[in-house]
């Protein structure tokens, strides 16, 4: 499973986004996806989402499981010290966008090609 979601109190969503390749870029991709989603859901010029994203590399060589952990606000903070709640996260859509961005970034960097991408997605 690429993306799981667990709701916890105080308008926070904990997400674990498993990714297929290890690099410093997936955290940037995750932030871009989350930031774009929340800012489009709260269409105010001063909307600022909140997130803390960390890389977790777990397992030995045979069971290596790199993934991200993120604590993400379920809305945006506004300049007037208020908080605007976004609609419920569409986890499947967000995980597909994240996966696409990570694979596109690695392809652009020359780390993978279309055949590898096709194999990974099959």
The C-alpha atoms of residue 57 and residue 66 are separated, in whole angstroms, by: 4
- pLDDT tens, 9-42? 344 343 334 444 456 678 888 899 999 999 999 9
CATH architecture of 3-121: 2-Layer Sandwich (3.30)
Sketch the domain layout of the chain as residue ranges: 3-121
- Using a 10 angstrom Cβ sphere, with 0-12 exposed, 13-18 middle and 19 or more buried, the burial of residue 100 is middle
Q: What pTM, to 2 d.p., does this model score?
A: 0.69
Average the pLDDT over 52-61 and give the result: 76
Task: Evaluate whether 6 touches 14 at the Cβ level (below 8 Å).
Answer: yes
The C-alpha atoms of residue 4 and residue 62 are separated, in whole angstroms, by: 23
């Amino acid at each position: 499973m690429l993306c799981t979601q667990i709701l916890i109190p105080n308008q926070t969503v904990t997400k674990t986004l498993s990714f297929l390749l290890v690099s410093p870029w997936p955290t940037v991709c995750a932030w871009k996806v989350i930031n774009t989603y929340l800012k489009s859901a709260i269409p105010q010029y001063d909307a600022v989402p909140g997130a803390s994203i960390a890389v977790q590399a777990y397992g030995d060589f045979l069971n290596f499981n790199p993934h991200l952990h993120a604590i993400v606000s379920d809305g945006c903070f506004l300049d007037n010290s208020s908080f605007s709640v976004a609609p419920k996260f569409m986890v499947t859509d967000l995980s597909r966008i994240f996966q696409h961005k990570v694979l596109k970034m690695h392809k652009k960097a020359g780390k993978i090609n279309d055949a590898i991408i096709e194999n990974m997605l099959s």
